Amino acid sequence: MIEEKKSDLPELSVPGFKYEQLREVLLRMRALQRYSFCVEAQIDSNLRQGFLRLLEDYLTLEEVASLYTVSVLMFLVTENERPRQFDERLELLNASFNYSDTLKPTMIHYATITMLDSLKLTPCEEEHGYIYMLEAMPHILVACNTGKMIALGLLRAFIGALSNTTLVLHIYRNLWEVYDMVQSISQDTILADWSLCKTYILVKSFALLMSSTAFNSCNLGLRQAGYQGFQMPPIAAEISEWFTALRDKIEEKHTNLSSKSGFKLVRFIDQNILRYLTEESNETTSEAGIETVA
């Protein structure tokens, strides 16, 4: 029987990511095949210690990018009747992304596309793979500046895939570009053809991007490195209208279906997108209404 793990939406669940699935990915990752412990380790603690020792040596770019993926997948592994050791797994995730805290665009692009390719090696349904990555994404975003830029590139790529947009360079540019991809998706198609899981992937990806860029004051290091797109573009009202329309349609559909999962998704949109945009709109209106006293 498959053990279920809950996502941010209590009724939206995906199968837990198993150690056997992690081992299958390791066997298919060319960059790590020469390290015997990747194959021989029978428990994740031995595997984790092996990778931590590996991080003390010189690694190629391909190996480092592969370790990014491994550290994320190890964070996600569920163990039968045992709670996940979050502190120990976050140690590996943080150590991996801090191995070389570089912000060169070529490095960010290469690492992002390597992680996207590695995601395809994961033996699971495509939507479940995205859900797994989204669970770890908040930790990647705060690991370091390198981790943040890679995470932003991954979130942008998720939305690009959902909107059938071809992306050549996997580097986050600005929220306006990402919203252009979002609004190109027909809401009627989302309501008629998409699963709630797929809709959640779109909504959470955009929510994480928006909160990590336009509504985050800790991006000075990225600005100094030459990256842009950390302000709310002058289309907050338009973004709010699009997501309000989507949440209303989801609410109407799932009221008729008496779906608790649908209502949870509506609440997620309210709390993680519309609330921020409403506050932004109120602040803009307030600033515009201030008169200079002579």
pLDDT of residue 283: 62
Q: Strands (DSSP E) along the chain, which ranges?
A: 4-6, 13-15
Q: Residue 290 domain-assigned? A: no
Calculate the alpha carbon distances from 234 to 67, 240, 286, 287 in Å: 38, 12, 16, 14
pLDDT of residue 80: 67
Q: What is the mean pLDDT of the chain?
A: 87
pLDDT of residue 6: 39
Q: Tokens standing for 237?
A: 């009202």
Q: Tokens standing for 80?
A: 């039968």
Q: Which of 14-28, 145-159, 172-186, 204-218 has the lowest mean pLDDT?
A: 14-28
Sign of CA dihedral 44, 50, 51, 52: positive
pLDDT of residue 282: 64
Average the pLDDT over 176-205 and give the result.
Answer: 96
Average the pLDDT over 26-53 and give the result.
Answer: 84
Please check the confidence at residue 34 and state whether its pLDDT lies above 90: no
Q: Tokens standing for 228?
A: 């842009």
- 167 Cβ neighbours under 8 A, 6+ residues apart: 156, 157, 160
pLDDT of residue 288: 40
pTM: 0.90
Q: Residue 293 domain-assigned? A: no
Query: Per residue in 9-32, pLDDT tens?
Result: 544 678 888 888 998 898 889 898
Q: Residue 222 domain-assigned? A: yes
Average the pLDDT over 102-115 and give the result.
Answer: 94
- DSSP one-letter code for 41: -
Burial of 189 from C-beta contacts in 10 A (0-12 / 13-18 / 19+): exposed
- Residue 258's pLDDT band (cuts 50, 70, 90): confident
Query: Per residue in 139-158, pLDDT tens?
Result: 999 999 999 999 999 999 99
Question: How many domains are there within the chain?
Answer: 1
Q: Residue 102 domain-assigned? A: yes
- 255 Cβ neighbours under 8 A, 6+ residues apart: 262
Q: Residue 294 domain-assigned? A: no
The answer to whether 269 and 252 have CB atoms below 8 angstroms apart is no
Q: Residue 292 domain-assigned? A: no
Calculate the alpha carbon distances from 107 to 58, 60, 65, 144, 170 in Å: 16, 12, 9, 14, 10
Q: Residue 174 domain-assigned? A: yes
Percent of the chain with pLDDT over 90: 64
- Show the domain range for 45: 4-285
Q: Residue 14 domain-assigned? A: yes
Q: Which residue type, as a one-letter code, is found at position 268?
A: F
Contacts 24+ apart (CB under 8 A), 260-268: 260/11, 261/9, 261/11, 261/12, 261/196, 262/196, 264/9, 264/10, 264/11, 264/12, 265/9, 265/12, 265/196, 265/199, 265/200, 265/203, 268/8, 268/9, 268/200, 268/203, 268/204, 268/207
pLDDT of residue 191: 95
The most distant pair of C-alpha atoms in the chain lies apart, rounded to whole Å, by 76
